[in-house]
Amino acid sequence: MEVILGAIILVAIFGALVKSRQGTAKGRSHPPPARSPQRPIAPKPSAPKPSAPEPAAPTYCADNPIIGTAYVIDGDTIIINKTRIRLFGIDAPEMDHPYGAKSKWAMVALCKGQKVTAVPDGSLSHDRCVARCFLPDGRDLSAELVKQGLAIDWPKFSAGEYRRFEPDGVRRKLWRAHNRQTGRYVPPAQPRA
């Protein structure tokens, strides 16, 4: 009984407080207190995120060789000195396709710590300069990736130059790239669970 009576008294006090607050908010006879001007809160500096150098969208390809450290985008695209470069004559799987990530990391391993020389052929492919890319020891990056079975020759653009480096069965393994070259339907990649 005492508990119920105590609860009723608490509810009554709470109701009176709420009612009195509403009354003062409605019928204020004086203006609200002035607030001191506040400085805008500056965002906290965060650690810089590693990202690719922002390439300018080229409208043409330079005739001069481009030499520098390569930032790898995928198996057949790199950036050197803010120039996006498409490797000549090959087709590597996209990042969301089977073997896409493996192809990218193979290219990273080839380029790591190396000064890559890109010799543009003067053409563009999706706002990327098409170039033959070489390591300091003279190895062709396109040929090296094809030898590893992580890219295939694209005869439409290379005239079959890299076909001899393809391992047996690589066109079955990289069937999406092969189908894209032959004009067959390539279904969209399924997201991995």
pLDDT in tens, 75-134: 889 999 989 999 999 989 888 888 999 999 999 999 999 999 999 987 777 778 899 999
pLDDT over 90 (residue 140)? yes
Residue extents of the structural domains in the chain:
66-182
CATH number of 66-182: 2.40.50.90
Strand duo 129-134 + 83-87: pairing: parallel
What b/e sequence results for 136-147 when a residue is b if at least 16 CB atoms lie within 10 Å of its CB, and e otherwise? Answer: eeeebbbbbbbb
Compute the Cα dihedral for 176, 152, 155, 95 and give only its sign. Answer: positive
Query: pTM score > 0.75 for this model?
Result: no
Binned at pLDDT 50, 70 and 90, residue 159 comes out as confident
Q: What is the pLDDT of residues 17-74, one digit of tens each?
A: 666 665 555 555 555 566 655 666 666 566 555 566 665 555 567 678 999 999 999 9
Q: What percent of the chain has pLDDT over 90?
A: 33
| Alpha helices in the chain, H assignment, sequence order | 2-26, 100-111, 141-147, 155-158, 170-173, 175-182
Q: Residue 193: what residue type? A: A
